[in-house]
Structure 1
Amino acid sequence: MNQDSRLQQLDALQPKTFKLDSRSIEPGDAFVCRQGLTVDSHEFAQAAVAAGATLVIANRPLELEVPCIVTAGFADTLALLNGYLEYPGDHLTQIGVTGTNGKTTVAFGLYQLLDDITPSCYTGTLGSLYRQLLTPTVNTTPDALTLLERFGTLRRLGLTHHVMEVSSHALAQDRVDHVAFDCAIFTNITEDHLDFHGNRDNYIQAKLRLLDKLKPEGRAVVNLDDPCATMVLDRCRHRGPALTHSRANPEADLYAEVIHCDLQGSEFWLHHLGAKYRCTLPLPFEFNIDNALAMLAAGLILGHSLQPLLTKLTALAPVPGRSHSIALSNNRQVVVDYAHNRASLATLIAQARNSSYGQIHTLLGVTGDRLADAEEIGETVLALSDHSYFTADNPLGVSLTTLLDTMDPRRLSHQIEDRAQAIHTALNKMAPGDLLLLCGKGEERHQYHSADKLAATPYPGDAEVVKLWQEVVI
């Protein structure tokens, strides 16, 4: 059967939606099979039919009670569905944001700047957000099929711009191969997810693949303060000139000269094309100035004037669970942040030290898939903090005892398995003027105790735990 015949069959059957997970099938859906690294979902085709699937798209013939369209492979399936849905992603201005740290803040903040100008959407760690409706997602970057479906929805709603966090996993697993980006933003590249990528070079190469997804006229945003900036610029030299930003290099296209920075926000002089602008950013820490510069650079690449973008920047809403500051009595402060790898924790604690007059308390856990990094992360936090509290953060089936012992084999920290109890302990130990950093979970309101992410345990969230403690103390 050729592609035209397959399209005709899809037109005749008109499935309600396309799904990769047989457990989520509803009557009228089409089930799409894929041969993965560890799981072959062809084995679940019959279960999908039993759940109500009226069509199966597979990569080999299957004996089923419903029609089965056979393609050469999953990439061929995506091409078929992209054509069937009339290439919905091509109707959107696509902005991809990648980097070890800062993806969520940049993508969510840029979404805000753009949505004030033209109807836009954000996709990332926080979920999918458009028209004030936030829908949670399992992965930072959804699978390719989910993205196709979402693009179709966004097109029908009349949205014009889509800002998406693009993880290294997504790039290595070809989740965005069918997306042509107008702008690619690189926040920074240190190292992360070495359990998946194997080594730092593989991780970096996965990140750089985003440049290969740019449209011919697409352009990149590059942070010159990142040690990997040279590699990024070299990779995109045959495309339109990258727009660069920096807090250290006045030769950057956008150069920030910091005036003041504390837990309430920052002020800086922005230098661009020979002009100088005084800017106010309602986000704490200097690394958020880097994030703001990336947003502004992307806005310029997309054809917007700088001054309106700067005006919108002053009213930027904080990103849920990212550098979220909570004031307590006696000049004590709490910051809820998603920092979870060695580099982001080191940066956060160092910059918090510059913004605090008291002692630094740091609380975090290590997810089960980061066991190999746990010792280094623990050593970093213990070395830079005055008080450390190690607790649970999505163990994913790994023993909490193993995780905590690996983080701190010498037992120099407070080790408390229950995260809410650990937060209460840290709050009760704070002296006037102290700062508590609650790291790793950000806005997450669940715990993955097992490896099955469909079996999450509810958790109120770090900020809510602090709020409830305040109510009891007061």
Structure 2
Amino acid sequence: MNVPSFERFVQSGLSALPNHQCDEFRQQLSRLGITPLGLSNDSRSTQVGDLFFAYPGSNQDGRIHVAEAIRQGCAAVVWEQDGWVWDSTHKVPNFSWTDVRGLMGQFAANFFGDPTNELNVLGVTGTNGKTSCANWLAEALFFLGRHSACIGTLGTKFLNKEVESIPGQGRTTPDAISLQRTFSELHAMGASCVAIEASSHALSQNRLDGTKINTAIFTNLSHEHLDYHGTLENYAKAKTRLFMCSSVLHAVINVDDDFGMLLANTLRRHDKDVITYSCLSANAHIHATNLKMSLQGSSFHVNTPWGSRAVESSIIGDFNISNLLAVLGGLVCAGESFDRACEAIARLKHPEGRLQRVGGQECDRFVYVDYAHTPDALRRVLGTLRSLIRADARVITVFGAGGDRDKDKRARMGDAVLEFSDVAIVTTDNPRDEVPEDICDQIVCGKAGQFVVELNRRTAISRAIGLSNEADVVLIAGKGHETYQEVFGNKIPFSDHLVAQECLSELWCGTNTSKDSLRV
């Protein structure tokens, strides 16, 4: 990381003048004589009276779908210039704009009544831990009597007496229009606090523009999404954009992470209120000591300027204790007392697909499903599991790598698994538009004798469980909560958790013969 360059980047972001392009945009729209009934950037869901935003995206160019949006009944079209020419046969009011994404978030927020002005929004960014932290924040606030919601990888949930769900968009962070619509719906349902995952893609694509974020939380930074951002420095800068929002009152930052330390120090120099957390440094505002862990749970002592106390939790993993500290910091920033916040985090459970044990405590096998799909995440999860089992027990890992994503990390993922696993089974993840064999070859990368390759994911899971005994741990990594596999444009139903449950049932019934069929 070029520190002077990063300092200038933060300085420019924090000192940026208010953006008035939304006012100019409204004037342009007014000249068309159009009052849109709704907003859309997806021609398939465009409704009569919508204003349709057409611009080039990462995978598709929305401008080629203008005709479909018109057939759906849109009232007008705003299209991005960038060398594109309007088709004169399209008889609908329209005008061009230089950067459609750059204004869409703020305009959508205004259109839906600036809902986050009425909400306490906590944004979480980082390579790993976003989903756990965002869900735990919402759950902890619910435990403390707040009307809380969560937006992220697991969808959108409003936690009330009953959990109500709003259909997700298949993204960690929804697009700008969907996001502001969701905030508006959550506010109408009675939510007062919302925790949201802020992905690097969303931040670089301005999806959170118009969102008033009160507290920004940073978990960690490691190798991911370089296929999109190009360099780790660009990736880090995308994450940093969350903290440059003028609405951010508090920054909660993990200083066990090297970039987190740089971020905290930089923001302090620009007079941001920074709260640091750490499992290693007593200089952090929130510091965990006396960490004790087993496969049944964890305990630790937390020291802060607001008090100190012991915490016992069913959560496992030192990285998850770090995530709990982030949640504690977020709760204090949201106005909760230290003692009440500690009581709330002690009640939290693993989110779906995050070190989720299959079969529960009554099961005689330790089988876990986890979303880990980066080298760093695999090391964290596998290192935790390795540290919690007997010396003569084994770690058996089933994993793959997603297609059409960062190829450079694949061999490193394989190395991470080999570092902590006794048996490493490489299988198909979400191949998307790539050939599964090619992906597996890039993971194995010349170490064929150290991996078992089984392209059928169901068979791979069955083999891993069949090979295990009561002392071993099986980790099924990569897909977590997902209920499908993406193969050449199709989403084929598949759940690691359900398949693992079926394999365990077969094992108990004596029908799983994988111990004989897999020789390692």
TM-score by length of 2: 0.84
Spell out the pairing of 1:304-319 with structure 2 (5 A cutoff): 304-319=336-351
Match of 2:178 among 146, 151, 160: 146
How far apart are residue 241 of structure 1 and its match? 2.7
The letter of the residue matching 1:376 is R
Find out whether 1:227 has 2:263 as its counterpart.
no
How far apart are residue 52 of structure 1 and its match? 3.6
How far apart are residue 186 of structure 1 and its match? 0.6
What's 1:362 paired with? Answer: 397
The letter of the residue matching 2:260 is A
What's 2:385 paired with? Answer: 352
What residue ranges of structure 1 are gaps of 5+ in the alignment?
A: none
Whole-angstrom CA distance in 1 between matches of 2:173 and 2:186: 16
What residue ranges of structure 2 are gaps of 5+ in the alignment?
A: 1-22, 510-520
What's 1:457 paired with? Answer: 492
What's 1:339 paired with? Answer: 372
Find out whether 1:41 has 2:62 as its counterpart.
yes
Find out whether 1:395 has 2:431 as its counterpart.
yes
Whole-angstrom CA distance in 2 between matches of 1:93 and 1:62: 44
Q: C-alpha offsets along residues 397-445 of structure 1, whole Å, 9 cap, x if unaligned?
A: 1111101111113322121111111100111111231000111101100
Query: CA 1:457/1:30 → structure 2, altered by over 3 Å: closer, same or farther?
Result: farther
Q: C-alpha offsets along residues 150-193 of structure 1, whole Å, 9 cap, x if unaligned?
A: 12222222322121111111122222232232111011112211
Find out whether 1:120 has 2:120 as its counterpart.
no
How many residues end up aligned between the 2 structures? 468
Whole-angstrom CA distance in 2 between matches of 1:414 and 1:420: 14
How far apart are residue 274 of structure 1 and its match? 7.0
Spell out the pairing of 1:14-413 with structure 2 (5 A cutoff): 14-15=36-37, 17-36=38-57, 39-59=60-80, 63=88, 64-68=90-94, 71-74=97-100, 75-116=102-143, 117-131=145-159, 132-134=163-165, 135-215=167-247, 218-237=249-268, 238-273=270-305, 275-326=307-358, 331-357=364-390, 358-368=393-403, 369-408=405-444, 409-411=446-448, 412-413=450-451
Q: C-alpha offsets along residues 194-219 of structure 1, whole Å, 9 cap, x if unaligned?
A: 11111222211221221112526x11
Query: CA 1:445/1:69 → structure 2, altered by over 3 Å: closer, same or farther?
Result: same
CA contact (8 A) 1:7 1:84 kept: no
CA contact (8 A) 1:95 1:181 kept: yes
Query: CA 1:114/1:214 → structure 2, altered by over 3 Å: closer, same or farther?
Result: farther
Whole-angstrom CA distance in 2 between matches of 1:274 and 1:32: 48
Query: CA 1:470/1:297 → structure 2, altered by over 3 Å: closer, same or farther?
Result: same
Whole-angstrom CA distance in 1 between matches of 2:118 and 2:464: 50
* 3-state SS, counterpart of residue 348 of structure 2: coil
The letter of the residue matching 2:111 is Y
Whole-angstrom CA distance in 2 between matches of 1:164 and 1:205: 19
What's 1:467 paired with? Answer: 501
How far apart are residue 320 of structure 1 and its match? 0.3
* 3-state SS, counterpart of residue 303 of structure 1: coil
CA contact (8 A) 1:211 1:235 kept: no
Whole-angstrom CA distance in 2 between matches of 1:42 and 1:169: 20
Q: C-alpha offsets along residues 359-380 of structure 1, whole Å, 9 cap, x if unaligned?
A: 0001101011132211121122
Q: C-alpha offsets along residues 78-122 of structure 1, whole Å, 9 cap, x if unaligned?
A: 444333322223222121101111111111100111233321221
Whole-angstrom CA distance in 1 between matches of 2:276 and 2:256: 10
Query: CA 1:142/1:100 → structure 2, altered by over 3 Å: closer, same or farther?
Result: same
Whole-angstrom CA distance in 2 between matches of 1:3 and 1:389: 54
The letter of the residue matching 1:47 is E
CA contact (8 A) 2:327 2:345 kept: no
Deviates more, 1:286-295 or 1:86-95: 86-95
Deviates more, 1:315-324 or 1:38-47: 38-47
Deviates more, 1:111-120 or 1:79-88: 79-88
How far apart are residue 291 of structure 1 and its match? 0.6
Whole-angstrom CA distance in 2 between matches of 1:380 and 1:325: 21
CA contact (8 A) 1:364 1:440 kept: yes
TM-score by length of 1: 0.92
CA contact (8 A) 1:281 1:289 kept: no
Whole-angstrom CA distance in 1 between matches of 2:230 and 2:318: 31
